[in-house]
Structure 1
Amino acid sequence: MVIVGAGLGGIRVAENLRNNGYTDPITLVGAETHPPYDRPPLSKSVLLGKDDRVDLKPAEFYDEAGITLRLGSEVTAVSPSDKTITLASGESIAYDHLVLATGLEPRPFPGLADRVEGVHMIRTYDDAVALREQIDSATDAVVIGAGFIGCEVAASLTARGLKVALVEPAPTPLALALGEEIGALVARLHTDNGVDLRTGVGVAEIVAPDGAVRAVTLDDGTELPADIVVVGIGSIPVTGFLEGSGIELADRAHGGGIACDATGRTSAADVYAVGDVANWLEDDTPRRVEHWNHTVDQASVVAHQIIGGDDAVVSAVPYFWSDQFDLKIQVLGAPRPDDEVHVVDDDGKKFLAYYSRDGILTAVVGAGKVGAVMRTRPKLQTPTPVADLR
Structure 2
Amino acid sequence: MTHIVIIGAGECGARAAFALREKGFDGEVTLIGAEPHLPYERPPLSKDGLAEASLPKFVADAARYEEARITVLIGATARSVGRAQKTVTLSDERSLDYDRLLLATGARPRALPGVPENAERIRMLRTHADALAIRAALTPGARLAVIGGGFIGLELAATARRLGAEVVLVEGLPRVLSRGVPEEIAAFVAERHRREGVEIICGAQIAAIEEAGDVARLLLADDVGIEADLIVVGIGAVPNTELAEAAGLAIENGIAVDERLCTSDPDIYAAGDCCSFPLPHYGGRRVRLEAWRNAQDQGVLAAANLIGAGETMASVPWFWSDQYEYTLQIAGLADGAQATVRRDMGEGAFILFHLDSQGRLMAASGIGPGNAVARDIRLAEMLIAAGAKPEPLALASPETRLKKLLAA
- In which range does the TM-score fall when normalised by the shorter chain? over 0.9
Does the C-alpha gap of structure 1 residues 213 and 263 become closer, same or farther in structure 2, counting only changes over 3 Å? Answer: farther
Separation in structure 2 between the aligned mates of residue 3 and residue 334 of structure 1, nearest angstrom: 29
TM-score, normalisation: structure 2: 0.89
Does the C-alpha gap of structure 1 residues 282 and 238 become closer, same or farther in structure 2, counting only changes over 3 Å? Answer: same
2:381 matched to which residue of 1? 377
Separation in structure 2 between the aligned mates of residue 108 and residue 115 of structure 1, nearest angstrom: 13
Give the C-alpha shift of residue 337 in structure 1: 7.3
Is the CA contact 1:38–1:54 (under 8 Å) kept in the aligned structure 2? yes
Separation in structure 2 between the aligned mates of residue 35 and residue 339 of structure 1, nearest angstrom: 45
1:228 matched to which residue of 2? 230
2:321 matched to which residue of 1? 322
Give the C-alpha shift of residue 151 in structure 1: 0.9
2:302 matched to which residue of 1? 302
1:275 matched to which residue of 2? 272
2:19 matched to which residue of 1? 16
2:363 matched to which residue of 1? 363
Q: Residue type matched to 2:275 in 1?
A: A
2:288 matched to which residue of 1? 288
Give the C-alpha shift of residue 183 in structure 1: 1.6
Aligned pairs for 1:1-390 (under 5 A) are 1-49=4-52, 51-136=54-139, 139-210=142-213, 213-250=215-252, 256-283=253-280, 284-309=284-309, 311-313=310-312, 315-336=314-335, 340-345=339-344, 349-358=348-357, 359-368=359-368, 369-381=373-385, 382-385=387-390, 387=392, 388-390=394-396
Secondary structure of 1:375's counterpart equals helix
Separation in structure 2 between the aligned mates of residue 225 and residue 337 of structure 1, nearest angstrom: 40
Does the C-alpha gap of structure 1 residues 333 and 180 become closer, same or farther in structure 2, counting only changes over 3 Å? Answer: same
Runs of at least 5 residues in structure 2 that lack an aligned partner in the other structure: 397-408
Does the C-alpha gap of structure 1 residues 361 and 338 become closer, same or farther in structure 2, counting only changes over 3 Å? Answer: closer
Secondary structure of 1:47's counterpart equals helix
Question: CA-to-partner distance for each residue in 1:133-177, whole Å, 9 max, x for gaps?
Answer: 121276111100001111111111111111101111222211222
CA RMSD for the aligned pairs? 1.9
Is the CA contact 1:76–1:88 (under 8 Å) kept in the aligned structure 2? yes
Does the C-alpha gap of structure 1 residues 14 and 232 become closer, same or farther in structure 2, counting only changes over 3 Å? Answer: same
Does the C-alpha gap of structure 1 residues 302 and 239 become closer, same or farther in structure 2, counting only changes over 3 Å? Answer: same
Does the C-alpha gap of structure 1 residues 185 and 169 become closer, same or farther in structure 2, counting only changes over 3 Å? Answer: same
Deviates more, 1:144-153 or 1:366-375: 366-375
TM-score, normalisation: structure 1: 0.93
Which stretches of structure 1, 4 residues or more, deviate above 4 A after TM superposition? 346-349
Deviates more, 1:46-55 or 1:333-342: 333-342
Is the CA contact 1:207–1:216 (under 8 Å) kept in the aligned structure 2? yes
Deviates more, 1:197-206 or 1:102-111: 197-206
Give the C-alpha shift of residue 132 in structure 1: 0.7
Q: Residue type matched to 1:39 in 2?
A: R
Question: CA-to-partner distance for each residue in 1:253-285, whole Å, 9 max, x for gaps?
Answer: xxx110111101111131100100011222333
Give the C-alpha shift of residue 243 in structure 1: 4.0
Secondary structure of 2:37's counterpart equals coil
Runs of at least 5 residues in structure 1 that lack an aligned partner in the other structure: 251-255
Is the CA contact 1:280–1:286 (under 8 Å) kept in the aligned structure 2? yes
2:404 matched to which residue of 1? none
Identity level (%): 36
Does the C-alpha gap of structure 1 residues 337 and 151 become closer, same or farther in structure 2, counting only changes over 3 Å? Answer: farther
Secondary structure of 1:286's counterpart equals strand
Secondary structure of 1:293's counterpart equals helix
Q: Residue type matched to 2:241 in 1?
A: T
Give the C-alpha shift of residue 244 in structure 1: 3.1
Does the C-alpha gap of structure 1 residues 68 and 194 become closer, same or farther in structure 2, counting only changes over 3 Å? Answer: same
Give the C-alpha shift of residue 23 in structure 1: 0.6
Is the CA contact 2:8–2:106 (under 8 Å) kept in the aligned structure 1? yes
Is the CA contact 2:141–2:166 (under 8 Å) kept in the aligned structure 1? no
Does the C-alpha gap of structure 1 residues 144 and 282 become closer, same or farther in structure 2, counting only changes over 3 Å? Answer: same
Deviates more, 1:342-351 or 1:165-174: 342-351
Separation in structure 1 between the aligned mates of residue 278 and residue 390 of structure 2, nearest angstrom: 26
Separation in structure 2 between the aligned mates of residue 241 and residue 379 of structure 1, nearest angstrom: 38
Q: Residue type matched to 1:384 in 2?
A: K
Q: How many pairs were matched up?
A: 383
